[in-house]
Amino acid sequence: MQNDNVRPESMTRITTKELADAFIAEQIEAVRAQVGDKKVLLALSGGVDSSVVAALLVKAIGKQLVCVHVNHGLLRKGEPEEVVRVFKEEMDANLVYVDAIDRFLDKLKGVSDPETKRKIIGKEFIDVFVEEARRLDGVEFLAQGTIYPDILESDGVKAHHNVGGLPEDLNFELVEPVKLLFKDEVRVVGKALGLPESMVERQPFPGPGLGVRCVGAITRDRLEAVRESDAILREEFANAGFQGKVWQYFTVVPDFKSTGVKDGKRLWDWPVIIRAVNTVDAMSATVEEIPYDILFKIRDRILNEVAGVNRVLYDISPKPIATIEWE
Ligand code: XMP
């Protein structure tokens, strides 16, 4: 019997709009045949994979798809707004936007251990999603942005990509239209579906989001320093033509302060650390050599525009020995 979690050798690699259009047409038929007139639930983070699945399913089944976007307060600047604009306003999708910011940040208050932070964020996400799922009637299917590397990494056994660990009684049947595609193919399909470049070409972003870049116990003011400095870095990298060329870049704000001086007064503020790395598989990584004029521009903007910051540092450590993230 053919295993539908194995990519057939004969499957053409999707590299052009024409091939993507043919794939989309095929998947629309397959999804319609699978779900009939039933509702399908999708956790839409705004990342490449879930966004492509959402756009594909909107085309296939319109309002039968219910997208749930959980804003846990750890997303990058402008991301929740972009999800609402693209899916609700432009595609007229059935989108439930959940503002869970206080709920997440309250649970994370005072928690400094990185693994505990990750566990809290993961568990809270499932809890919020399940609450929303239970609020809806007649949902029998769960769509996921599982892609082929997820299946390969989990030995073809199970392919939980977005929402692992849902309670058994929900008993959703999975809808995974891009599960046999590689990342570059998912991006080609996303473009063919009309998703904006900023969504389709996004760099990898960890599930716990900015939570692992606000080192130690998260505070709202330091989290804002991470979010604002990250937005400046991304903007200046885009201006410099680095977007889509450097694999991953972000800022980190550690939980310590150092002395500074402003208007003749001594003050204590945080440093912002810039990280920009290239890698093939994230197992090892090299540091991008950012030209000094660009670094200085980013430094000036961060020091002028981000509250509570008095230093900008550039992390030049490769992986190994450093990891890409700071915790
Ligand atoms: P490290 O820091 O281990 O990161 O060198 C390697 C890659 O994995 C991402 N990363 C995560 N992704 N949940 C995720 O979904 C996590 O908890 C997590 N931690 C690290 C990191 O951004 C990098 O791309």
If one counts every other C-beta atom within 10 angstroms of the C-beta of residue 47, the result is 18
CB–CB of 320/292 below 8 Å?
A: no
pLDDT computed for residue 23 by the predictor: 98
Which tokens is 320 given?
């190994």
Ligand 1 centroid distance, CA of 206 (Å):
5
Number of independent structural domains in the chain: 2
**Mean pLDDT over residues 140-167, rounded?**
76
Same domain, 31 and 142: yes
Segment 262-317, tens digit of pLDDT: 999 999 999 999 999 999 989 999 999 999 999 999 999 999 999 999 999 999 99
Same domain, 54 and 171: yes
Query: Above 80 in pLDDT, residue 209?
Result: yes
pLDDT computed for residue 160 by the predictor: 45
Q: Report how far residue 26's alpha carbon sits from residue 29's, in angstroms, rounded to the nearest whole number.
A: 5
- pLDDT-derived band at 4 (thresholds 50, 70, 90) equals confident
Same domain, 33 and 163: yes
Same domain, 255 and 229: yes
Residue with CA nearest ligand 1 atom 18:
206
Domain final position from 177, 200, 223: 200
Q: Report how far residue 24's alpha carbon sits from residue 14's, in angstroms, rounded to the nearest whole number.
A: 11
Tell me phi and psi for residue 95, to 5 degrees: -120, 125
Same domain, 185 and 266: no
The ligand 1 atom nearest the CA atom of 322: 5
Using CB distances shorter than 6 Å, the residues near ligand 1 are: 118, 204, 206-208, 212, 248, 282, 319, 323-325
pLDDT computed for residue 162 by the predictor: 53
pLDDT computed for residue 169 by the predictor: 83
Residue with CA nearest ligand 1 atom 12:
206
Domain carrying residue 299: 213-314
Q: Report how far residue 244's alpha carbon sits from residue 311's, in angstroms, rounded to the nearest whole number.
A: 27
Q: What is the pTM of this model?
A: 0.93
CB–CB of 201/184 below 8 Å?
A: no
